[in-house]
Amino acid sequence: MIRRFVLFVLWALSMAAADISGSWTFSVQIADITGSPKFRFEQKGEELTGSYSGQLGEAKVTGTVKANEVEFRFEAGGYPFIYKGTLEGDKAMKGKIDVAGQAEGSFTGKKD
């Protein structure tokens, strides 16, 4: 019985969302365009807010973190940029970018 409880606790801890609050530097590629935007995230539970700063200017960011899945978005030039990825601990992530359904790309991010 104790063994099951310990295994359950370990499983539950592994499923808990990492806290990614802080400054991040990304490497982004969309078609033949690359960039290194900066993000500042503030996480409360699964809710994610923050800011984007890069080639597209500055914008507010909103999103979610659920277990090791992260999704966030911002708007620039009237277009939504939607990032969906996987956390690798609480200091790295990688995934895909959708730009208004018109273009796709990829990203990696590292916590500063």
The answer to whether residue 48 sits within a structural domain is yes
Predicted pLDDT at 11: 47
Could you list the residue range(s) of the whole structural domain that residue 77 is in?
17-111
The answer to whether residue 92 sits within a structural domain is yes
CATH of the domain at 45: 2.40.128.120
What is the count of structural domains for the chain? 1
The answer to whether residue 37 sits within a structural domain is yes
The answer to whether residue 93 sits within a structural domain is yes
Contact 16, 65 (CB under 8 A): no
The answer to whether residue 12 sits within a structural domain is no
Block means of pLDDT (10 residues each) for the chain, 112 residues, are 55 63 98 97 97 97 97 97 95 98 98 96
The answer to whether residue 97 sits within a structural domain is yes
The answer to whether residue 8 sits within a structural domain is no
Backbone φ, ψ for residue 104 (5° rounding): -125, 155
Predicted pLDDT at 18: 84
Residue 8: DSSP 8-state: H
CB within 8 A of 32, min separation 6: which ones? Answer: none
Predicted pLDDT at 17: 60
The answer to whether residue 68 sits within a structural domain is yes
Predicted pLDDT at 3: 63
